[in-house]
Structure 1
């Protein structure tokens, strides 16, 4: 079995929407980049899930690569497949608080008591949280979060300013954010701008991918959306 999967939301309902890209040189470049990345990855012991233009809040990054350990699926509770974004938002707050009771969770999130309690019930039943010493606490991260790297890639044929802004916006959920361009040798000033923002830069030219500079790496999860990618991978892999 291949250790690379392309997440196709049309085959399995995992609560994720995609945008259908427009045909053209930019989309061709993205698909070739995905093929090259997937071929290189097949030598690894971890697994790779590829998301093409997934809906992330109100944006659609061109591609997101989620590198994960297969044991993410070992104890996957089927009720996790029913969790909604509001549940994950509340869960991430509980985790960030290192546990909390209903009052402290309401104070932090400003959600209603009913919303909090319904989410807590679903999170408990799905095995993500447990109650200890009067507080709800997250299970240990290593038991419930399997993504090791979450790499977003934005592609443009040029338009450096737009490319930089889009790649920078992806850092709220990704461990590494990259920009992809067909320009073989960008100006040094352009390279330095991307470095200053912590954005990695790939050049795709003549069928070859060159990493011009590495992205700064953040620890995962960085936000509730980092968790959603974890859940989408688990749902897809356990149902398809």
Structure 2
């Protein structure tokens, strides 16, 4: 029998998110760091998982889950890695704006991030690629992400050929079509579940100085 979707419901605690939780600098990044560290300490499954939303040049959206692999408290940026021939990479090339969503259900917390995206330089991508498990490095050569494939068997056969090719190679090089992205946040919103759906939402937006984003942030409390 099908589930009664409408009756699915979670009752949140009444633990608050207050303006006093924000760092004295006014930046949202120290609060993000604290929340992220608490998600890691809570031993949540893949606390660095985040939904990445992109759109085509004419505004058709798509979303998927990727893994955060770095963030910078000083400049408010977030880093992940992917295949540059993937759908998301093509959409970011045509429309270099994106949104991220972190969801830590057990902590009743979510963070939304919006901003412009750029590719990392080759040195940064090389350094991260070299830190990956060997199997993941070879797998990056075997997968042409988002491209059609006839069957799982074709993928496994291709992967076996690449594993054989690099069997005696100590350092697996980074594929030229694989690397990193950096989103520089212009808006970050923190959400904390509260009782009776009266949730707390604190939104930070970068101040503009002569049309250029600054390091100063404007804090606004939003209605739930």
TM-score of the two chains, using structure 2 as the length reference: 0.26
- Higher share of residues assigned helix: 1
TM-score of the two chains, using structure 1 as the length reference: 0.25
